[in-house]
Amino acid sequence: MKTIIEPFRIKSVEPLTMTTELERESFLKKANYNLFALKSDDVLIDMLTDSGTSAMSTKQWAGIQLGDESYAGSPSFYRFESALKELAPFKHIIPTHQGRAAEKILFSLVGGPGKVIPNNTHFDTTRANVEATTTEALDLVRQEGLDPRLEHPFKGNMDLARLRDLLETRTDDVPLVMLTITNNSGGGQPVSMENIRETKKLCEEFGKPLFLDACRFAENAYFIKLREPGYADKTPKAIVQEIFSYADGMTMSAKKDALVNMGGWLALNDDELAMSARNMLILTEGFPTYGGLSGRDLEAMAVGLEEVVEEDYLNYRIRSTEYLGNALDKLGIPIMKPVGGHAVYIDARAMLPHINPLNYPGQSLAIEMYRVGGIRACEIGTVMFGKQADGKEFPAAMDLVRMAIPRRVYTQSHIDYCIECLDLVNQKKASLTGLNITWEPPMLRHFTAHFNPL
């Protein structure tokens, strides 16, 4: 069958508010043309992020009722721990309230001046938490991963030659090696099992632990099943188990592939590091059997970890993202290829070549998508990355607009509506203008800056 049906039916519905283009124009003005400043009630299809926006299943909601809120030793923690160990049998499992809290703890313990942490591509919060300890955050993704048009099955792969070079020249400066699966900042592109295995081999040769930033581990595993020789007949669960067998630890935002709205963890095998991590957890998050979460959140994560490796779910997830990407491609809209796991990235600089990158083509496109159809997407370009620490501004490497797809939330007709909306925007693209920034904070300006259309 060609039609991708959602492998679930809807029992509880959340109404969407319909608005007119005229209303949306006034909401945009009130928000100073910053989509983060919109009220989400005024958004029809919210594709700002796939993080924390998943719909939970009946079993997860039932788990919420079962959550045990004991301060210490809650059975909900043990249920979560055993669901995670089924996939990733790390010795120490330390829950946190979300991914960046796990990053903060890990890098505070291993970072410091003069050190360097390599990754295929550090996600923003990972980079910020590494740099906060004055450690250098080094991106070593393979060259193919930097070309938005190039078709390659595993554009998230680590450049092993450059990693070897780093490990040979600065051995003592590297406390650990990270690998982000899938590579969010590089377009949601997967890392192959071979690359994970070879990265681990290099780590072993130099005596370094390998940590996975594993937010989208199940999506990565499904790409391995679809694209890597030798994996077509394996279950996603078996592939996930093999992935984690090569790692010495992981940081996780459960808001992605644990199918919950809040949660995360740090997991690792090193006893001494785990003891220090738990001490810091008690300072910043909470007691080690809840770590900043409620017992009910731990129950929902335990169930989410079982559901996310189901083949029908992953097939629907990966194919429905591809469905949106292929439709935009057919309309002649330039997108990053191949389509990643959790989002479609539009190349706004290529789509709107008449807008100077310093007038933010990505922001202009995202605003028009909202004006025309009430879709909220996210600029990932010069607004987000253009401003330097010394106050100067340069065009970012790319001007992208990310349409991130919340898990199990929208149906195919919602996606068809988005495609129709993008078709309209594409037809009028020559009339789109750039913007100026009229106010910005000293850092992370994309969240709060004010814009004025030219």
Residues that bind ligand F0G (CB under 6 A): 49, 51, 98-100, 123, 125-126, 180, 184, 213, 215, 253, 255, 264
Taking the complex as a whole, how short is the minimal distance between the CB of residue 196 and ligand F0G, in angstroms? 15
Q: Which of 279, 257, 438 is nearest to 342 (CA)?
A: 257
Smallest distance from the beta carbon of 138 to ligand F0G, in angstroms?
Answer: 16
* Beta-bridge partner residues of 401: 346, 379
Contact present, 188 and 343 (Cβ < 8 Å): yes
Which one, 123 or 451, has the nearer CB to ligand F0G?
A: 123
* Tally of CB atoms within 10 A around 36: 13
Nearer of residues 42 and 219 to ligand F0G, judged by Cβ: 219
Cβ 184 to ligand F0G shortest distance, Å: 4
Nearer Cβ to ligand F0G (19/108):
108
Q: How far is the C-alpha of 130 from the C-alpha of 56, rounded, in Å?
A: 32
Residue 409 CB, nearest distance to ligand F0G (Å)? Answer: 14
CB of 118 or CB of 434, closer to ligand F0G: 118
Residue whose C-alpha is closest to residue 27's, from 40, 42, 17 = 42
Nearer Cβ to ligand F0G (57/184): 184
Name the residue among 175, 170, 200 with its Cα closest to residue 117: 175
C-beta of 177 vs 352, nearer to ligand F0G:
177
Q: Which two tokens stand for residue 107?
A: 């890098």
Closest separation between CB of residue 215 and ligand F0G, Å? 4
From the CB of 103, what's the least distance to ligand F0G, in Å?
7
Quick one: 253 or 359, whose CB is closer to ligand F0G? 253
Work out how close the CB of 214 gets to ligand F0G at its nearest, in angstroms, rounded to a whole number.
Answer: 9
**Shortest Å, Cβ 128 to ligand F0G:** 10
Helix axes 236-245, 75-87, angle to 10 degrees: 90
> Nearer to ligand F0G by C-beta: 208 or 255?
255
Q: Minimum Å distance from CB 159 to ligand F0G? A: 18
Please identify, using beta-carbon distances, which residue of 108 and 125 lies nearer to ligand F0G: 125
Residue whose C-beta lies closest to ligand F0G: 99
Q: Please list the residues that pair with 220 across neighbouring strands.
A: none
Contact between 71 and 235 under an 8 Å Cβ cutoff? The reply is no
186 or 236: CB nearest ligand F0G: 186
Q: How far is the CB of 163 from ligand F0G (least distance, A)?
A: 19
**Is 333 in contact with 345 (CB distance < 8 Å)?**
no
Report which residue type is found at 91.
Answer: K
Please provide residue 439's backbone torsions phi and psi, each rounded to the nearest 5 degrees. -155, 145
